[in-house]
Amino acid sequence: MNFLSSLDDSGAPSGAPTALAFQAAEPGEGQRWSTWPATIPSERGPEPRPDWLVTSAAAIDTELGVVKTGKEANLHLIERAIPDAPADVPGNRVLLAAKRYRTSEHSDFHRSAIYTEGRGLRRTRDVRAVAKGTSFGRAVARVQWAYAEFDALTRLTELGASVPYPVQVHETEVLMEFIGDGRVAAPRLAQQRADAATLRDLFQQVADFMRVLARAGLAHGDLSPYNLLVHHGRIVAIDLPQVVDLVSNPQGFDLLHRDCVNVCDWFTRQRLECDGEELFGELVGEVGF
Catalytic residues: 222, 239
Asked if 48 and 32 touch (Cβ cutoff 8 Å), the reply is: no
**DSSP codes of every residue in 166-218:** EEEEETTEEEEE--EETTEEPPBGGG----HHHHHHHHHHHHHHHHHHHHTTE
Q: Which amino acid is at 19?
A: A
Closest by Cα among 240, 223, 226 to 187: 226
Q: For residues 260 and 210, what is the distance between their CA atoms, to the nearest angstrom?
A: 9
Angle at 205 between CA 199 and CA 206, to 5 degrees: 90
Closest by Cα among 272, 259, 153 to 207: 259
Asked if 235 and 202 touch (Cβ cutoff 8 Å), the reply is: yes
Q: For residues 84 and 73, what is the distance between their CA atoms, to the nearest angstrom?
A: 33
Task: Please state whether beta strands 228-231 and 234-237 pair in parallel, antiparallel, or not at all (unpaired).
Answer: antiparallel
Closest by Cα among 161, 157, 142, 279 to 228: 161
Rg (C-alpha) for the chain, rounded Å, is: 22
